[in-house]
Amino acid sequence: MTGQELQERIAREVDANPDNTLQGRLRYYDHPLIGVAPAADPLFVQMKEADIAGDLFRLPQEWLPGAASVLVYYLPFSREVRSSNYAGSKASMEWLHARFRGEAFSNKLREMLIGLMEAQGEKALAPMLEESMVIDYQRLSSNWSERHAAYAAGLGTFSLNRGMITAKGMAGRFGSMITTLELEPTPRIYEDPFQNCPWMVDGSCGECMDRCPSGAITENGKDKRVCYEYLFVQDPLKKEREPFGYPYSACGKCQTAVPCESRIP
Amino acid code (one letter) for 63:
W
Q: Which is nearer to ligand SF4, 143 or 255 (CB)?
A: 255
Site string for ligand SF4, 126-145 (x = CB under 6 A): --------------------
Site string for ligand SF4, 246-265 (x = CB under 6 A): -----xxxx---xxx----x
Using CB under 6 A as the binding rule, whether residue 216 contacts ligand SF4 is answered as yes
DSSP string, 152-220: HTTSEEE-TTS-EEETTBSSEEEEEEEESS--PPPP---SSTTTT-HHHHHS---HHHHH-TT--EETT
Using CB under 6 A as the binding rule, whether residue 72 contacts ligand SF4 is answered as no
- Mapping DSSP onto H, E and C, the string for 93-110 reads HHHHHHHHHHHHHHHHHH
Using CB under 6 A as the binding rule, whether residue 95 contacts ligand SF4 is answered as no
Provide the 3-class DSSP secondary structure of residue 135: strand
Nearest to 169 by CA among 61, 104, 262, 251: 262
Q: Which part of the chain contacts ligand SF4 (CB under 6 A), choosing from 12-20, 98-106, 155-163, 183-191?
A: 155-163
CB of 215 to ligand SF4, least distance (A): 8
Nearest to 171 by CA among 80, 43, 88: 80
Using CB under 6 A as the binding rule, whether residue 211 contacts ligand SF4 is answered as yes
Using CB under 6 A as the binding rule, whether residue 81 contacts ligand SF4 is answered as no
User: Is-contact 189 196, C-beta < 8 A?
Assistant: no
Q: Which part of the chain contacts ligand SF4 (CB under 6 A), choosing from 5-13, 132-140, 202-210, 232-240?
A: 202-210
245 Ramachandran zone, left/alpha/beta (phi>0; psi -120 to 50): left
Q: Which is nearer to ligand SF4, 30 or 207 (CB)?
A: 207
CB of 240 to ligand SF4, least distance (A): 16
Nearest to 127 by CA among 33, 61, 225: 61
CB of 217 to ligand SF4, least distance (A): 5
What DSSP designation does 42 have?
H
What DSSP designation does 134 have?
-
Of the candidate residues 26, 39, 126, 160, the single one contacting ligand SF4 (CB under 6 A): 160
Q: Which part of the chain contacts ligand SF4 (CB under 6 A), choosing from 98-106, 140-148, 207-215, 237-245?
A: 207-215
Using CB under 6 A as the binding rule, whether residue 208 contacts ligand SF4 is answered as yes
Of the candidate residues 21, 22, 180, 206, the single one contacting ligand SF4 (CB under 6 A): 206
Amino acid code (one letter) for 61:
Q
Please give the residue ranges that form the binding site for ligand SF4 (CB under 6 A).
159-161, 197-199, 205-208, 211-214, 216-217, 222, 227, 230, 251-254, 258-260, 265
